Amino acid sequence: MTSWECPVPVAAFLSSSDLENHSQRDSRDTHFIDDARSRTYDAVCIPLTTAKWMERWRGMCIISSEPDGETRRAEGSELRAETWRANPAFELGEVTMTRLEEAEGVIAMVSDWLELDAADSWVRHDSEIALQQELSYASYLDVQTAIFPPPRNRSQIAAYGRAVNTCLARTPYMQFSIRLPIYDPAIFQAASPARSASGAPRSKMPSSFSSSSSPSTPIRSPGSRPVPSTKASEAELNATWEMWDAIRSICAYNPRLTLTLDLTPPLPSVPGVLNRWVAEPIRHLFIPASSFIANTKGYPVLPKGSQSFIRDVMKHRPVVILSETNAGLHVKGGEAAYVQYVRHLDKTSPALVQAKTAGTVENFARGYQDYLQAPLQPLMDNLQGITYQTFEQDPVKYQSYEEAVHAALLDWPASERIVICVAGAGRGPLVARCLSAIARVKRNAFVYAIEKNPSAYVTLQQRKASEWKEKVGLLFGDMRSLALPESADIVVSELLGSFGDNELSPECLDGAMRFLKPNGISIPSSYTAYLAPLSSSKLYNEVHAGKDDKASETPYVVMFQAVNILSGQGADDGGRCGTQIQECWEFEHPRRDVVLDERGLPVTNSHNIRSATLTFHIPHAGVLHGLAGYFEAVLYGEIGLSIHPNRKEHISKDMLSWFPLFFPLKEPLYLPSNSELQVSIWRLTDQRQVWYEWYAESFLPVLRPPAETPKVGPLPRVDGHGSFTTATSTPFVPPSPLIDAMDNPFFVSGDQLSKEVTKRVGEGSKVETGVVKIGQTTLHNPGGRSSWIGL
């Protein structure tokens, strides 16, 4: 049974007080998980320790602060602390589980009062020892997953990440998850309470020490649910994601480190902020009952924005952890209503619906989401029968080809005999479609089928004998060297790859174009490659799983799922940045400008070299893990094929034959909000092979007022031609050190931003805009050293 056929697991969060009530209510020796299953849950999530452990740790490790300003320590506490540090161990009553049976099916919540990122180094030190002690005990109980408390102190995020990385090394068989909200709602409150009182060295108990019913996070706001303000800055909205990015980077993208996304605060309405979380490794969703609202009948439901986001996240198949569902916050439905509602969201998630709908790409590609596949080597390798069979399951592609041939035949003079050449016939699907188009227009036509695969050629012979008879002529060999008995009016081929040219369609058709008459038609007539910057920790981990340097310089065919396209729509007219997905290059057939030898073949392959430099606007902070490659082809006239994300639904909806191409990066490249990404990519060739090379640079737009007095001589500049600034900036310009911070541009239109800039800089002043370089990648695959397509 695939993961799509299994419903998303739902777990009940039981607080310390819930566990106490359970033991008092039921004197029998029942397990937490048995009780949860009786209430339709699949698992339980419980704190690993009790308040007794917190109090002992506090008494040993924290100096209390007295009203008079003096600090006191309990007598003998230092000796107890040193004894504990030498050999950390729990005492009876300090843990919530003592037997293996109790821990079965349990997700453990590490003590939420531990401050791995406290301002005081001793608090951090003792918190890490306590964390190691808890994980050791969890491992003893065979607990599979532990959820860490959220980081609270951005300035000590490196300490938090280092501690987590140590845990990953010392506890090799356990899954760890970091609990984080999408943003900190305290940024929307007039006066945010201090999140931690451990800033003074070993002075007093951290404010997060609590025995409340649910784990404390920086996002708790008692008694109210704040509405996101339009005055939040980009940096504030980015804070929790940037902490996550720092932690997972310190931990080298360890696949055992995942996210527990806390949906306690209301979700922001900015799609770009939400999209980047969807591309992260979400293992759990934590949803308290307070996040639900009552519908008209009084039953608990989630706001529409939360519904949409959770439905999208369901493609990760997370465990949904529900808390406070027995608190009676909603008048109808009771505890079971929350579980039923979550399962309804799962069943209606677009990814699941598409995966279960026959004929969709998602249904066809089940099990291949985010799975790396090496592109085909069409000239070096002969395809297997199963590969042909898979491609032939695509009715959309072949219907489009038939319509293209049909349209071309209608445009041909009715009195002439028409010769069609299918270059690369495979097992014959294009031949059959050509014959169908001929029958529809009732024209006098003959089809030649060329195939170099000896095994597929046997199938073609069988089909000719049983189906096609004298309507088709078969030719065995390479189209680049074979001779056709007569010139063709139409050449039809299906040599396209995920990037258009990546399976050497240009090189193959260079050989086939000599079959055409001077006014002949090629189907396809052209195809265009497109590129977009992509973030996906899943794909990054997949590429680096084998620790092979060549893997990160190899393009892969991938059915994208847990990914985020980082680019926005770019600047206004005249701006430097382009659209979200940009065109790299195009190939046309037949080409009239190629130098040919006496056989009609190109003298060299240099005419198929291409290069492109593309500039993308990055509206929201993210991490670049690679480039997404797409293609769009014109078969004939208005008939085409496309896997372009924004156009495929209109051109070739539900086409199955091609997944996008993924160009990975060796190292992630961090891109701040409102930055620019410049991507350079080359298609190169020699006499033996074709390969791609790619490289990226990141820039941050800046603003600066002009000098008060002109200076003699040219001013130094930095742009792509040797200066510090370039012309026109991106539409959303972050502040430079010369300009005060602005409001978050997510909520401000371009006109409003211009007015704000004018107000800050001064009326009548002209603002010079430009960019400062902030990062770059290495050149990937130079000389085709790691990946290439053989000629």
Active site residues: 494, 503
CA 274 to chain CA mean position, Å:
12
For every residue of 610-655, which 3-state class applies, written as one string? EEEEEEEEECCCEEEEEEEEEEEEEEECCEEEECCCCCHHHHCCCC
Q: By C-alpha distance, which of 500, 750, 460 is closest to 612?
A: 500
Cβ contact 645:653 at 8 Å: no
Establish whether 549 is an annotated binding residue.
Answer: no
Whether 293 and 303 have beta carbons less than 8 Å apart is answered as yes
CA-wise closest residue to 496 among 376, 615, 608: 376
Q: For residue 1, give both structure tokens.
A: 């049974």
398 assigned ligand-binding residue: yes
Q: Alpha carbon of 12 to those of 180, 283, 335, 464: distances in Å?
A: 18, 15, 10, 64
Residue 478 annotated as part of some ligand binding site: yes
Buried b (16+ CB within 10 A) or exposed e, 377-416: ebbeeebeeeebeebbebebbbebbbbbbbbbbeebeeee
Cβ proximity of 409 and 442 under 8 Å:
no
What is the maximum span of the chain, computed from C-alpha positions, in angstroms? 109
The answer to whether 388 is a known ligand-binding residue is: yes
Burial class (CB in 10 A: 0-12, 13-18, 19+), 332: exposed
Q: Which two tokens stand for residue 562?
A: 């847990």
Which H or E element spans position 562? Answer: none
- In order, the DSSP letters of 695-737 are EEEEEEEEEEPPPSSPPSSPPP--STTTSS--SS--SS-PPPT
Between CA 377 and CA 469 the distance in angstroms is 32
Identify which of 122, 144, 151 has the alpha carbon closest to the alpha carbon of residue 63.
Answer: 122
In the numeric block, which tokens belong to residue 755? 């007015």
CA angle centred on 516, ends 511 and 517, rounded to 5°: 145
Phi, psi of 657, deg, nearest 5: -70, -25
Give me the half-sphere count of Cα atoms (radius 13 Å) on the Cβ side of residue 84. Answer: 24
Q: Return the ∠ at Cα 85 (arms to 82 and 88), rounded to 5°.
A: 130
Q: Is 101 annotated as a binding residue?
A: no
Angle between helices 234-250 and 157-170 (to 10 degrees): 30
CB 62 within 8 A of CB 125: no
Residue 97 in marked binding region: no
Please state the residue numbers annotated as binding site: 388, 397-398, 451, 478-479
Annotated binding site for S-adenosyl-L-methionine: 388, 397-398, 451, 478-479
